[in-house]
Structure 1
Amino acid sequence: MAEPQDGVTQPKPQEQQHLDIEATGLVEAGDEEVNDCPIEQVRLTVPITDDPTEPVLTFRTWVLGVASCVILSFVNQFFGYRSNQLSISSVSAQIVTLPLGKFMAATLPEKPIKVPCTKWSFSLNPGPFNIKEHVLITMFANSGSGGVYAVRILTIVKAFYKRSLSPGAGYLLVQTTQLLGYGWAGLFRKYLVDSPYMWWPSNLVQVSLFRALHEKEKRSKGGLTRLQFFLIVFISSFAYYLVPNYLFPSISTVSIICLIWKNSITAQQIGSGLYGMGLGSFGLDWATVASFLGSPLATPGFAIINILVGFFIIVYILLPLTYYNNAYDAKKFPIFSSHTFDSTGQPYNLTRILDSKTFSINLDEYNAYSKLYLSVFFSVTYGISFATLAASVSHVALFNGSTIWQMWTKTRAAAGEKFGDVHTRLMKKNYKIVPQWWFHSILIVVLGLSLLACEGFDKQLQLPWWGILLCCVLALFFTLPIGIITATTNQQPGLNVITELIIGFMYPGKPLANVVFKTYGYISMVQALTFLSDFKLGHYMKIPPRSMFLVQLVGTVIASSVYFGTAWWLLTSVEYICDPALLPEGSPWTCPGDDVFYNASVIWGVIGPLRMFGRLGVYPEMNWFFLAGFLAPVPVWFLSRKFPNQKWIRLIHMPIIIGATGNMPPARAVHFVMWGIVGVFFNFYVYNRYKQWWAKHTYILSAALDAGVAFMGIIIFFALQSKDIFGVDWWGLAADDHCPLASCPTAPGVVAEGCPTI
């Protein structure tokens, strides 16, 4: 990460307004550099040239793009229901489609084909396979690899609640939740795409890979071209992943303390990388580094430090204080768990308090049984989610509010001239923009279909019309502040918890209404940001905006249809799917991810936040996190104003610090430890000492490591694991850190399987 250095040209008066956005930790450059891009990482990665004559929406683009979208959608949904889940990323399609595209360019006829009864014609082969076609094909693949959150609703309705659901309602639900966010993404294009300060760090990995695969580069003496470097790292990553994924899974997480103190619960709680605080744990697997937090190589250095600070405070200070002081009877439960418990420390018996006919809480049974308890870390995680959202709003208002307001009030032409860089100017010069009415039309149509899905079909989804409008307001409100955080830090706070909380208070006792509201509110924002991120990638790669819009829209509709069709087929054809108690022994159709989603629908929809975080619950104090999060950025903002020359103060990003552990679980301590080590090494040591190497190789390294892991994972799964052929049965075959006591309760008298009784 670029730290402020002596000799940097001071911003001129007309540039002063950009200092708010400079809080991302990136140094304002001189006039010549601003003419390119004020963000150094972008200057080092993205070319400032364009050839607007290159064909983009070609026959090759449609064939390879749609095929990638369909295949990835089917495979990811098919294996999403299985015990050993398999997720194939778009990087795999990105690599595979390159030789296919070149093969089509070499073999297909070039003669134009006329469309009957029209003046239109097209060519199967308009020339060499180019980088812009490849970008659009990858956008198609992104649509197929991203998953469809609403499919989980179909699964819990049919497989867990055992209720019927109209396929029309299900299909509309899947399509509208994926498309709704596109409607208002157009409102924020100017601020989150055209602004050079919104640089979307993860896109630079894609840019580097595209350039390595397509640009002809002369190898320096004793060096490697970017493509050669990619191939070497890819082959190495591919070969090595056989070890942690098949032969020796235990090296993915090594917990030294557990191996020394094998009989101590406390020692294993402190040392376990998977079930405890992870002190002294490490992993020798790229999947351990990047599987939950994303590639640290694509995360800005200042964001890495903020995340590590937040992780240290929460896991090594807050967690021990709350657990070992027995807050909320913490010692009755594991120190780190996402499961639910009753007052005796046993797993919570949800069927006991759930009325199977009305699908609402049976208060008599609930009062006679027990309140619902969580592990102390899991309960604090909910509080952290509350604080993160509040901090996101206040941080963006304080640090970016004046700039956003100026951009909002200026005309598009003035804003483009004032805030644009060379990439924005090239795009506006060479290509037509997407008209705003396209976005408005999508919003109106999809909103109408959303109301039909919920109010029609005998109201099977339970959510009334006002719920749809309310979740749209929430998503619209948070898209800009969370978009700014994502576009500058590569970290994205979620709306899932706050949406569950709001509808849980307003419409209690309705589990389906709860998850439908959560999905519309949360996923529509995520889709808006995905759309904008892809637009920024196209912005860097100089793809015509209207072509990008069409590919994203068509890709989303196709992917949603395939995900829905695959899920509906499996839910109606696999007997006892998602029910391990009734499935034949060894059956893989256990739906582990959907089980968590189902439990959340019961916790927030059946029991409700009033009986968890309200006056009737165990954790009402968690609501103070809203206030704490909202106030947290204020001292940082005050100090940054009082000491404007101390630019390091502006690098303190409270939403990132507070929300550092927001995805724990499923992420564990070892993932943060390894992610931080790799991130600090490359984005501080290598970046500052070997900047030329960093600029040429870092993002290529990230893409190659990801691709190697993905391809070896696919091959091992299909060739071996899908046929129940596993490695030699030995100590290292367990995908575990050998800390069996880390999950044990430490309260006297609590009985847990495999644990000593205190």
Structure 2
Amino acid sequence: MSDSGVADSSYKNGDRLPENLKQAEEIDELENSPIEQVRLTVPATDDPTLPVLTFRTWTLGLFSCALLAFLNQFFGYRQNQLSVSSISAQIIALPLGKLMAATLPAKVVRIPGTEWEFSLNPGPFNIKEHVLITIFANSGSNSVYAVNIITIVKAFYHRQLHPMAAFLLSQTTQMMGYGWAGLFRKYLVDSPYMWWPANLVQVSLFRALHEKEVRRKRGTTRLQFFLMVFVASYCYYIVPNYLFPSITALSFVCWIWKDSVTAQQIGSGLSGLGVGSIALDWSTVAGFLGSPLATPGFAVLNVMAGFFLVVYVMLPITYWTNSYNAKRFPIFSSHVFDQWGKPYNISRILNQKTFEFDPVGYSGYSQIHLSIFFAFTYGISFATLAATISHVALFHGKSIYRQTKQAFSDHVGDVHTRLMKKNYVAVPEWWFSIILICVVGLAFLACLGFGGELQLPWWGILLACVIAFFFTLPIGIIQATTNQQPGLNVITELIIGYLYPGRPLANVAFKTYGYISMSQALMFLSDFKLGHYMKIPPRSMFVVQLVGTLVSSSVYFGTAWWLLTTVPNICNTALLDPSSPWTCPGDDVFYNASIIWGVVGPLRMFGRLGVYAGQNWWFLVGLLAPVPVWVCSRLFPKAKWISLINMPILIGATGMMPPARAVNYLAWGAVGIAFNFVVYRKYKQWWARHNYVLSAGLDAGVAFSAVLTYFALQYRSIFGIQWWGTELDDHCALARCPTEPGMVTKGCPVF
């Protein structure tokens, strides 16, 4: 206590005031929130009179949802997959909302044939409208995983797919998560112990944006700064996107040693280790790993430590010791090969009539082989999944158990839960149940109708639902308390690969229904918790999420279908112009995964019949990896840096490689360390004010510049002057060559 003369004497005389005060503080914490970070960040107040689902909300929300969905799918097929996050829309929506509030008339519009009416301008633009617009944008910024299935069918397998089957697949995989979200929201949203740490960043940003900001002398407001960055990024991106695409990866080592395969393997930023490779392009920096400006410093260090260990320690050792005959194949590639080092001829093992695995053709041809890096990518994914489980159990097990136990208790909740129950009507459970039943029925239609093009049987749909249902609550508890979400993609691929092998589309469809519906449910629950903190009426949240998901899924599907049917040779790097950005690196990996898990199956890849059975040891490696860190953190509690070593992040650091390349990681890490350590420590005030705005401005500028360039020039086949700099390549052709003696590959020397 402060000024504690009386209190101290009272305590010495036997008064129990300190214990009473402590008890009072505990009661206050429980009444407000048992989580300190929530008490410090989220206001324990509400104004239920603020208008929410206004004309501004619908206009700006639907526009941002559709725009972000279009941009993200548009960039999804390009060499550098820039992901435009909802933060860009969150920042831009504020001045637009205020502009509409200042200019629109307060006219009341009645909807014909109903009693519904609304005002074009119900008053000042408020924070609750802003939250719902951001929820709309968030729906648009989250990609539709099922589009990968549509892409590999049309662009890689070159088969027909009924557009209605494809559309239903896109919608049902995104919508099924609503059912699981409705079942578990009592435990994962209403409970004060499920606090979803990532949402506190959003809450802080909303509060900062709605505080009155006065421009300092010779300074700029955050909006002015955003516009300056946006214009600069917009203008500059014409260089790497159109005039000089080669600066997306400058590999100087290759240019010095033009005739050395080993030197180019070491120096290539796109097909090798990337030593000395740099990039002068924001889409290279943020294209696969997201913006490094928005990534915590400790996470950047964990990722880069994992990258260096895998790429500069494990990869050279395994390649130059010829593990798994690594020298027969490129050192870095996401493709599959036969035993002679040639691209694997899938048509020889796939029955074109039934589109199923042909065991006779396989036995007469070759086992599937991978580049050494791609082989270890799967092993590392096994380790990451196991490490996540053990890390969470060791470092967060007690707190998760305590919070879970309290979440299932009959406690009425914290102040936020009480305010929500007092001021607003909850969403009925049957709303979610109806959606779940309808979506499952449409999933049956998508998979079993239209000639069964997707190959997944009825029991596969039900099994995928069971897996998603079973894992939503435990993984939701982990994410709601630790910010980590263990993925189910490997587990689902393994399960269906063993139960129903030889059918590539059944494998990827099962994975999507099992994994993505769970992931979508957690995204919905996270947004519900954000609305819970910001005191958004639950039914308004439900409507916005539902409409946003329907709109975004439709736009993602429509954009993908349009590009797949209008861009010549899209995704086919053998036939594309060297300057073409439509290389589909993510879909290329997805396609090869469908061959590995779906066509050939895990038994012939990672089981007793496969070349890579040894990769299963990575499960054990991942399970044990967090143990030494946990032990050291207990033995040396004062060494706080030990607890910042996050083995799941470190082991899974290269999880985006491929399709990401070494140059993406090096550029991302350099920018992340520069801003989250150097700038953060020396110019903390500037960092706090401008860092996230800088990230949003760079993303938005690149996105709009690329779209305008495409429609104004590239769509009309206007490509300008052709020179070596217009090739979207780092000019390290020899980096893709094998180095085993006697191997003959076109364009490569024979050792």
TM-score tier after normalising by the smaller chain length: 0.7 to 0.9
Match of 2:439 in 1: 446
Matched, 1:204 2:201: yes
Q: Which amino acid aligns with 1:597?
A: F
Match of 2:280 in 1: 284
Match of 2:400 among 397, 404, 407: 404
Match of 1:19 in 2: none
Q: Which amino acid aligns with 1:376?
A: I
CA distance in 2 between counterparts of 1:61 and 1:354 reads: 50
Q: Which amino acid aligns with 2:301?
A: I
Match of 1:712 in 2: 705
Matched, 1:687 2:683: no
Match of 1:666 in 2: 659
Q: CA deviation at 1:486?
A: 6.0
CA distance in 1 between counterparts of 2:416 and 2:677 reads: 27
Cα deviation, 1:244-281, whole Å, max 9, x if unaligned, reads: 33333333322332233232222222222221112232
Q: Which amino acid aligns with 2:291?
A: S
Q: CA deviation at 1:320?
A: 0.9
Tell which deviates more after alignment, 441-450 or 667-676: 441-450
Match of 2:460 in 1: 467
Match of 2:498 in 1: 505
Match of 2:271 in 1: 275
CA distance in 2 between counterparts of 1:484 and 1:677 reads: 34
Go from structure 1 to structure 2 and tell me whether the alpha carbon gap of 1:693 and 1:92 turns closer, same or farther (over 3 Å shift).
closer
Q: Which amino acid aligns with 1:310?
A: G
Tell which deviates more after alignment, 89-98 or 305-314: 89-98
CA distance in 2 between counterparts of 1:190 and 1:293 reads: 31
Matched, 1:361 2:354: no
Matched, 1:515 2:508: yes
Match of 2:615 among 613, 622, 628: 622
Tell which deviates more after alignment, 529-538 or 193-202: 193-202
Q: Which amino acid aligns with 1:600?
A: A
Match of 1:534 in 2: 527
Q: CA deviation at 1:13?
A: 12
Tell which deviates more after alignment, 484-493 or 655-664: 484-493
Q: Quote the sequence identity (%).
A: 66
Indicate conservation of the 8 Å contact 2:203/2:534, yes or no: no
Match of 1:543 in 2: 536
Q: CA deviation at 1:53?
A: 2.7
Match of 2:718 in 1: 725
CA distance in 1 between counterparts of 2:335 and 2:612 reads: 16
Match of 1:225 among 212, 221, 246: 221
Match of 2:328 in 1: 332
Matched, 1:303 2:296: no
Q: Which amino acid aligns with 2:616?
A: N
Q: Which amino acid aligns with 2:454?
A: L
Q: Which amino acid aligns with 1:304?
A: V
Matched, 1:703 2:700: no
Matched, 1:62 2:58: yes
Go from structure 1 to structure 2 and tell me whether the alpha carbon gap of 1:272 and 1:338 turns closer, same or farther (over 3 Å shift).
same
Indicate conservation of the 8 Å contact 2:249/2:280, yes or no: yes
Matched, 1:603 2:596: yes
Cα deviation, 1:708-731, whole Å, max 9, x if unaligned, reads: 222222222222232333354344
Match of 1:390 in 2: 386
CA distance in 1 between counterparts of 2:654 and 2:82 reads: 24
Indicate conservation of the 8 Å contact 2:64/2:136, yes or no: yes
Tell which deviates more after alignment, 338-347 or 730-739: 730-739
Q: Which amino acid aligns with 1:290?
A: A
Match of 2:550 in 1: 557
Match of 2:261 in 1: 265
Match of 1:312 among 308, 311, 315: 308
CA distance in 1 between counterparts of 2:246 and 2:481 reads: 35
Tell which deviates more after alignment, 579-588 or 226-235: 579-588
Go from structure 1 to structure 2 and tell me whether the alpha carbon gap of 1:369 and 1:203 turns closer, same or farther (over 3 Å shift).
farther
Q: CA deviation at 1:96?
A: 5.9
CA distance in 1 between counterparts of 2:624 and 2:185 reads: 26
CA distance in 2 between counterparts of 1:691 and 1:43 reads: 20
Indicate conservation of the 8 Å contact 2:472/2:518, yes or no: yes
Indicate conservation of the 8 Å contact 1:310/1:657, yes or no: yes
Go from structure 1 to structure 2 and tell me whether the alpha carbon gap of 1:657 and 1:121 turns closer, same or farther (over 3 Å shift).
same
Secondary structure of 1:304's partner?
A: helix
- Equivalenced residue count is 726
Cα deviation, 1:727-755, whole Å, max 9, x if unaligned, reads: 54344333332322222111111122222
Match of 1:124 in 2: 120
Indicate conservation of the 8 Å contact 2:294/2:692, yes or no: yes
Match of 2:137 among 132, 137, 141: 141
Match of 2:174 among 148, 173, 178: 178
Matched, 1:352 2:352: no
Q: CA deviation at 1:123?
A: 1.6
Match of 2:101 in 1: 105
Secondary structure of 1:717's partner?
A: helix
Q: CA deviation at 1:339?
A: 0.8
CA distance in 2 between counterparts of 1:52 and 1:137 reads: 18
CA distance in 2 between counterparts of 1:291 and 1:588 reads: 13
Q: CA deviation at 1:332?
A: 0.8
Match of 1:25 in 2: none
Q: Which amino acid aligns with 1:273?
A: G
Go from structure 1 to structure 2 and tell me whether the alpha carbon gap of 1:591 and 1:625 turns closer, same or farther (over 3 Å shift).
closer
Secondary structure of 1:357's partner?
A: coil
Q: CA deviation at 1:129?
A: 3.1
Indicate conservation of the 8 Å contact 1:201/1:489, yes or no: no
Q: Which amino acid aligns with 2:149?
A: I
CA distance in 2 between counterparts of 1:734 and 1:302 reads: 36
Secondary structure of 2:118's partner?
A: strand
Q: CA deviation at 1:503?
A: 0.9
Go from structure 1 to structure 2 and tell me whether the alpha carbon gap of 1:280 and 1:566 turns closer, same or farther (over 3 Å shift).
closer
Tell which deviates more after alignment, 303-312 or 715-724: 715-724
Cα deviation, 1:195-215, whole Å, max 9, x if unaligned, reads: 58855548737963x567654
CA distance in 2 between counterparts of 1:240 and 1:571 reads: 28
Q: CA deviation at 1:514?
A: 0.7
Q: CA deviation at 1:384?
A: 0.7
Go from structure 1 to structure 2 and tell me whether the alpha carbon gap of 1:681 and 1:82 turns closer, same or farther (over 3 Å shift).
closer
Cα deviation, 1:168-205, whole Å, max 9, x if unaligned, reads: 54443222100112222342675479658855548737
Indicate conservation of the 8 Å contact 1:191/1:404, yes or no: no
Cα deviation, 1:404-427, whole Å, max 9, x if unaligned, reads: 22233325687675xx6x877766
Match of 1:9 in 2: none
Go from structure 1 to structure 2 and tell me whether the alpha carbon gap of 1:270 and 1:400 turns closer, same or farther (over 3 Å shift).
same
CA distance in 2 between counterparts of 1:486 and 1:671 reads: 27
Q: Which amino acid aligns with 2:305?
A: V
Cα deviation, 1:230-250, whole Å, max 9, x if unaligned, reads: 233333333333333333333
Secondary structure of 2:705's partner?
A: helix
Q: CA deviation at 1:683?
A: 2.5
Cα deviation, 1:310-359, whole Å, max 9, x if unaligned, reads: 11211111111110100011011111100111111111111122111222
Cα deviation, 1:404-458, whole Å, max 9, x if unaligned, reads: 22233325687675xx6x8777666655554555444433443344345434555
Q: TM-score, normalised by structure 1?
A: 0.84
Q: TM-score, normalised by structure 2?
A: 0.85
CA distance in 2 between counterparts of 1:240 and 1:47 reads: 41
Q: CA deviation at 1:519?
A: 1.1
Go from structure 1 to structure 2 and tell me whether the alpha carbon gap of 1:306 and 1:269 turns closer, same or farther (over 3 Å shift).
same
Q: CA deviation at 1:396?
A: 1.8
Go from structure 1 to structure 2 and tell me whether the alpha carbon gap of 1:249 and 1:539 turns closer, same or farther (over 3 Å shift).
farther
